[in-house]
Structure 1
Amino acid sequence: MFAFLGRASYRFRWWVVGCWLILFCVALPFLPRVPEQLNVGGFSSPQTEAARARKVLERELNLSPSTLVVIVQSERLDARSAEFGTQLRALLADIDSVPNVTETILPRDDANLIADDGRTAYALVGLSLPPEEAQRQVAAFRAALRAQPDLTYLVAGGPAFFADIETVSQRDLRRAELIAFPFALIALLLVFGTVVAAVVPLIVGGIGVAVILLTLYFVAQTIDLSIFVLNLASMLGLGLAVDYSLFITSRFREELPDLGGNVAAAVENSLATAGRAVFFSGLTVLIGLLGLTRFEFMFLRSIGISGVVVVLFSTLAALTLLPALLGILGGRIERLRLRRRNVSSVRSRDTGFWSILAGWVMARPFLVLIPTLGVLLGLGTPFLRVNLSSPDATILPTDLPSRQGFDILTEAFGPGEISPLVIAVQSPSSIYTAENLRALYDLERWLMRDPRINRTRSVVSAGPQIGRESISRFVAVQRGIGVLGVDTGLERFASDRGALILAFTFFLPNDPESKALLRDVRAYELGGDLTMLVDGSTAEIVDVVDAMYADVPATIALIVGTTYLLLLVLFRSVLLPLKAILMNALSIVASYGALVFIFQDGHFSDVLQFAPLGFVEASLPVIMFCVLFGLSMDYEVFLLTRIREEWERTGDNTHSVAVGLQRSGQIITSAALVVVVVTASFVSAQVILIKALGLGIALAVLLDATIVRALLVPATMRLLGRWNWWFPTRLGRV
């Protein structure tokens, strides 16, 4: 099949190149419009308790789905003064003209919105759209604010956070692409030593990425896709296309002199061997990324969908566009040489550094295997103390308003001000019955006795002079005053069928103390006929992580099982696929440990230019597993394909491993170098999620292509001996 594809690509080479160029030209006008079709958010699920609590409050109390926080500071005015209030109202005078603004809560309505220092205060502005949609209104909202002589202000909150993510992610993408292309070219020049051979994979990658983005533009018309698919499409699309092109181009350069310069035969042989390996490698990457489509979270699902598009077009470009270009270039692939080619290093030579290394390893397999395993497992040990969390403003750079607002609130009001527990209470009868009000009173007093709680707000919030038996009369008086037109704030905390309790803690949302408190609150037995659900940042984090990781075991089993069957067919071996899976797991575990060591613990934060998070974003390990499992398997497929070729020729396991590693070691290392360069370019990103993803993939690929392939693979294959190739006859017939 692949030999036929090679012949067809050569025969119709001009037509093939022409078709790809047409697609490229069609894609160009759509590329600037792709971000408009993509969404931010997608990190939550409507099925979680936190999401259901929000729905209850929206229904029973008309709570706004999202809130903007206008943070105001003054060096001259005290936030409790009348003049400060006058200027704040003037600042917000025009916001009612902004679409979807529902309500405004000022410091005069709630004194807790003023910091103890009297220099910082904030106002809450409700919007009738969820944060992912409300972020489109942030620019108009900021434009509607009237600057005041004595006030400085920032707009923060969920919608502002998502708006800033969209802005900075596009900025990150442009910066990473400017880094990736020239450094990938330098890496390819070092690998090939000729300008023409180095440029060809980049041409294939560039055209492939453009067509991928065109496809995503139309996919996004019917399916919600995350803004982060842009980064993944560029990172993975360029990396895979160049990776696959490097393997096929290298094989073509080996075949061409051996076949006396017969270009058609060289293209055919290259596709029959390296092309077959590329196809199966693409399938392994595809299997991993398909695993992401199982998750209910839009962010993960869209990464999986876009990843499938990336793999399909990257593989298709490598198997059609590349051989057509090679057919056109022929011997001119060696033009513009930068260094003399070492002819003895091509296929005719089966001895060299890699075969010597393989021989050294196989002469002492246990001596190599045990310490190497220890190193990789040791690198992974920090993951045992991972603190998983959903993203918040700390993943953004400190020059963005939403991040600055987060930091100001944390410093001025304490870490718990930005993340209260939001308790939604329901009653099938009425919240205002004496029994139910006493039950709410008991809950609030129980919360206030907890040393982890700073303060609470609810319909039953009253001074210590109001006892349990008097609370129903107190609430009745407040309701009566409200009927007279006096704003008591009661309607913000209770209706006939629902009530809200806010519990402000002393901790950040992802702090273990906050999570422990959440568990205790959810376990509380509420009296009366009341039921409760708990929302808030901590609840969102816990619920998202629990829901996400509930699907992880089945996803891993599906990916591993399907990959095993694919490799079983490819290598006709029972043990080699199992060994390949274990080798992959080691490099992934090591990269997980690096995530915790760097981004959670903060090591190298000065070098990488980020503020330590204290947590690992929950989706990162999931994405990295699904991407890396297939990407790392690439190198195993290419290496074992070469080893199997020699095994079928000689039947000598030790010799086959040495020759296979010699023939593929340099190419695998070179391909990994290109992928490392491309993915590491995203370390320049200011969104820590993208920075961590780029660094994690780069580290895993680097470890996989060096320590794993150069040391662990020959050691384990030497120990297994002829068992590497064991394949029951009955299974072969099946």
Structure 2
Amino acid sequence: MLNRVARVSHAHPVRVIITSLLIAAAALVIGFTLIGNLSASGFNDPDSASVLAQEEIVGATGASAVPSLVAIVDPGAPIASPRGQAAVNRVATVMKDDPDVASVAGPSPQSPNLTSKGGSKAALLGYFGDINEDESQAAARRLDDELSTVPGVTVGGGWTAAAETSTIVGEDLLRAELIAFPLLFLVSLWVFRGLVAALLPPLMGALVIFGGFFFLGVGNEVFGMSVYALNLVTGLGLGLAIDYSLLMVSRYREEVAAHGATATALANTVRTAGKSVVYSAVTVGAALAALMIFPQNFLFSMGFGGLVVALVAAVVAVGVLPAVMALLGTRINALAPRRWRARSEAADRVEESGGWYRLSHFVMRRPTAVALVSGAFMVLLALPALGVKFTTTDSSVLPQSANARQVDQMLTREFPSGNGTPVFLSARAPDTPQASRKLLEVTREIDALPATKSVSPPRFVGDRTWQIDATSRYRALDERTITLVQDIQAINDPYPMKVGGFTALFVDQRSSLAAHLPWAALIIVAVTIVALFLMTGSVLLPIKAVIMNVLTLGATLGVLVLIFQDGNLEGFLQYDSQGAVDLTQPILIGALAFGLSTDYAVFLLSRIKEIRDNGGGERESVALGLQRTGRVVTAAALLFCIAMGAFATSRIVIIKELGIGTAVAVALDATIVRALLVPSLMALFGKWNWWAPGPLRRLHARIGVREGG
């Protein structure tokens, strides 16, 4: 198959390039059309009790159980004054007239907490009817537009936060690309030492992003995708495209130096580097696809996006790039200063005296010391992870300028209810005195819990559904509120009961992630072990790779704790610490780290095995393998760090965490792991690196993957 691709690319390069450009243009147009309504929510398990509680209340009452939208009214006069009342009534009328608003609550003798402590502001709570996510976001945008013309009104709430998130993600994505592409080009210029060769990785990256947007749009039509997947598709697509282009172009330049710009040079490149690219893409895609086992749409979308963009990157690198290289031939080294070209040609000759060759021999002469020091450094970085605290997505991930965040801050600081957190229960029971008495007993148990601030009597809301409203004394993610929710969940229910509210959503989200994590981890570890076994025929090398990947993940989580939980670099990175790390990020970054670490391991170990199979000694094979891949892998890692690290400029905290976390994982893997731990451990284990039981050796002989085979 790959030989045929090479033949077609060499025989008809112009036809392949034009066809690819037309497909990419169509993918871009269709993709942008289909990704216009991506969801900004999707962090909860749709089958969790807290989500079902909300659905039961909506089904019975026709209105949400929690406020969908909050409008803060500051009329410039006391709320109790005629001017203040007129301003409140005006805003309430606008909200009530909206077709998607089922009810509105405002200041009253029954709801004194909706007037600020100083009496100068009012909070109006809008409850949407039984509408879906797209309709809820549209309603929030519509009301925000209408009320933004009213002086002294600020609109926030959950659906406003979702709408603002969608807008900010799009704006930040464009800014990140504008930052990343010039930097990527400059670094590519330094790596390739030629203008033409340096242009290829960013151009291939653009094609991959276009294809990724198309498949993400198709996925959105079928499953509904998270807007956050745009960042993964862009960053990962760009990073993988550059990695694969770098590998292909570097190998092609080696082959051209040996054979000239011939069909043989292209065929050798596609057969060797191309096979590694395809194998790597399948491995990375499979590792990320493990995220699709989670019921949360956010992680499912990330898994789907990662899978498709990895495969698209392989198709572009193996199906399009060879045609471009065939068309260029020796001109791939064009527009390079003579001094740069001389250095590039020297690097392509792969002399046995390069820096990576010398470094590997230095490491292998003292493997125990290097392994212990390197491992200790990784463990030291991981130590802060022992104190990790987790949070979830709310308005605090948005910038200070976001209306939803401003409204939440005003509610917390200026309103009497700001220090409390609402919790509600949905109970399925008939409308009978007996049910009322039993549920009243439940309210007494809730009232006796230490964190309970208040609890209302049970009320029948229709359709065999009762609602009980309670309030915690503390903030939503305070451990005491979390304990309160868990205590309520543990009450001996006289009827089927479910606990809802923001804190209950977090508790259920945490439980759901914990329940599905072992299966996802098992898939990711299995993918790593199988992939490296098929490439190397060894049992020990895959196990070592898993251990080193765990070290990398632990060190990365430790860095995230130092930056985002402890609030270091707040000023430099322009964010406000939540005092915790988002619950989903270690899972997402873990899948990325395992996939990308395996990606780089494939590049390195395949070269070491190729040299060893051709008669190289144990240590010499490692040294030459590191010399021939070290510069490429390090350059690829640097380019990938730029592609993902650009998301550190995002105004949304969890996107900063994703960008910085992935960049840190890749940087650690390409330096400490590949340059120090791998050669030191290879030297320590010697020929045992390649050991496998007899049955597995025979299995590998039948189905194993060989780079040049």
Normalising to structure 2: TM-score of the pair? 0.93
Q: Is the 8 A contact 2:211 2:309 kept in 1?
A: no
For the structure 1 residues 578 and 120, does the alpha-carbon distance in structure 2 shift closer, same or farther, using more than 3 Å as the test?
same
Structure 2 residue 647 is the aligned partner of structure 1 residue 648? no
State the AA in 1 paired with 2:125. L
Q: Look up the match of 1:730.
A: 695
Q: Look up the match of 2:705.
A: none
Q: Look up the match of 1:101.
A: 101
Q: What SS does structure 2 have at the residue aligned with 1:546? A: helix
State the AA in 1 paired with 2:33. R
Q: Is the 8 A contact 2:288 2:307 kept in 1?
A: yes
Q: Look up the match of 1:229.
A: 229
State the alpha-carbon separation in 1 of the partners of residues 437 and 223 from structure 2: 48
State the alpha-carbon separation in 2 of the partners of residues 324 and 131 from structure 1: 44
Q: Is the 8 A contact 1:416 1:506 kept in 2?
A: no
State the alpha-carbon separation in 2 of the partners of residues 107 and 500 from structure 1: 22
Q: Look up the match of 1:705.
A: 670
Q: Is the 8 A contact 1:394 1:613 kept in 2?
A: yes
- Report matched runs for 1:186-585 at 5 Å: 186-259=186-259, 261-338=260-337, 339-342=340-343, 343-413=345-415, 419-428=421-430, 430=432, 435-436=437-438, 438-440=440-442, 442-443=444-445, 445-447=447-449, 450=450, 452-453=451-452, 455-459=453-457, 497-525=464-492, 529-585=494-550
Q: Deviations over 1:174-228 (max 9, x none)?
A: 1111011111101101101100000011111112211221232233222211111
| Structure 2: tracts of 5 or more residues without a match | 700-709
Q: Is the 8 A contact 1:350 1:663 kept in 2?
A: no
Q: What SS does structure 1 have at the residue aligned with 2:36? A: helix
Q: Is the 8 A contact 1:423 1:534 kept in 2?
A: yes
Structure 2 residue 631 is the aligned partner of structure 1 residue 662? no
Q: Look up the match of 1:690.
A: 655
State the AA in 1 paired with 2:309. V
Instruction: Give the superposition deviation at 1:643.
Output: 0.9
State the alpha-carbon separation in 2 of the partners of residues 496 and 355 from structure 1: 74
For the structure 1 residues 347 and 124, does the alpha-carbon distance in structure 2 shift closer, same or farther, using more than 3 Å as the test?
same
Instruction: Give the superposition deviation at 1:30.
Output: 3.1
Q: Look up the match of 2:704.
A: none
For the structure 1 residues 496 and 32, does the alpha-carbon distance in structure 2 shift closer, same or farther, using more than 3 Å as the test?
closer
State the alpha-carbon separation in 1 of the partners of residues 486 and 361 from structure 2: 57
Q: What SS does structure 1 have at the residue aligned with 2:342? A: coil
State the AA in 1 paired with 2:307. V
Q: Is the 8 A contact 1:431 1:495 kept in 2?
A: no
- Count the aligned residue pairs: 694
| Structure 1: tracts of 5 or more residues without a match | 461-490
Q: Look up the match of 1:608.
A: 573
Aligned-residue RMSD, C-alpha:
2.2
Q: Deviations over 1:78-118 (max 9, x none)?
A: 23444322221012323333221111111125112112222
Q: Is the 8 A contact 2:116 2:416 kept in 1?
A: no
Q: 1:141 aligns with which of 140, 143, 146?
A: 143
For the structure 1 residues 233 and 298, does the alpha-carbon distance in structure 2 shift closer, same or farther, using more than 3 Å as the test?
same
Instruction: Give the superposition deviation at 1:47.
Output: 1.6
State the alpha-carbon separation in 2 of the partners of residues 416 and 560 from structure 1: 45
Q: Is the 8 A contact 2:382 2:555 kept in 1?
A: yes
Q: Is the 8 A contact 1:639 1:664 kept in 2?
A: yes
Instruction: Give the superposition deviation at 1:496.
Output: 8.8
Instruction: Give the superposition deviation at 1:50.
Output: 0.8
Instruction: Give the superposition deviation at 1:417.
Output: 5.1
State the AA in 1 paired with 2:559. A
Q: Is the 8 A contact 2:645 2:663 kept in 1?
A: yes
Q: What SS does structure 2 have at the residue aligned with 1:67? A: coil
For the structure 1 residues 644 and 172, does the alpha-carbon distance in structure 2 shift closer, same or farther, using more than 3 Å as the test?
same
Q: Deviations over 1:330-369 (max 9, x none)?
A: 0001111143432333234022211111111111111111
State the alpha-carbon separation in 2 of the partners of residues 65 and 535 from structure 1: 8
For the structure 1 residues 69 and 118, does the alpha-carbon distance in structure 2 shift closer, same or farther, using more than 3 Å as the test?
farther
Q: Deviations over 1:420-450 (max 9, x none)?
A: 1222344345257673365155235424xx2
Q: Look up the match of 1:470.
A: none
Instruction: Give the superposition deviation at 1:532.
Output: 3.2
Q: Is the 8 A contact 1:431 1:499 kept in 2?
A: no
State the AA in 2 paired with 1:330. G
Q: Deviations over 1:689-720 (max 9, x none)?
A: 11110110001000100111000000100011
State the alpha-carbon separation in 1 of the partners of residues 149 and 94 from structure 2: 11
Q: What SS does structure 2 have at the residue aligned with 1:422? A: strand
State the alpha-carbon separation in 2 of the partners of residues 700 and 673 from structure 1: 12
Q: Is the 8 A contact 1:389 1:542 kept in 2?
A: no
- After superposing the two structures, state which structure 1 stretch, 206-215 or 326-335, moved more: 206-215
State the alpha-carbon separation in 2 of the partners of residues 656 and 211 from structure 1: 38
Q: What SS does structure 2 have at the residue aligned with 1:115? A: coil
Instruction: Give the superposition deviation at 1:412.
Output: 1.4
Q: Deviations over 1:27-84 (max 9, x none)?
A: 3433542432422211112321211222332244444266334333437422344432
State the alpha-carbon separation in 2 of the partners of residues 210 and 438 from structure 1: 58
Instruction: Give the superposition deviation at 1:294.
Output: 1.2
Q: Deviations over 1:150-170 (max 9, x none)?
A: x61211111111101111010
Q: Look up the match of 1:167.
A: 167
State the AA in 2 paired with 1:93. T
State the alpha-carbon separation in 1 of the partners of residues 417 and 625 from structure 2: 57
- After superposing the two structures, state which structure 1 stretch, 117-126 or 188-197, moved more: 117-126
State the AA in 2 paired with 1:422. F
Q: Look up the match of 2:682.
A: 717
Q: Is the 8 A contact 1:176 1:681 kept in 2?
A: yes
For the structure 1 residues 445 and 306, does the alpha-carbon distance in structure 2 shift closer, same or farther, using more than 3 Å as the test?
closer
Q: Deviations over 1:496-527 (max 9, x none)?
A: 9443333322332222222122222222346x
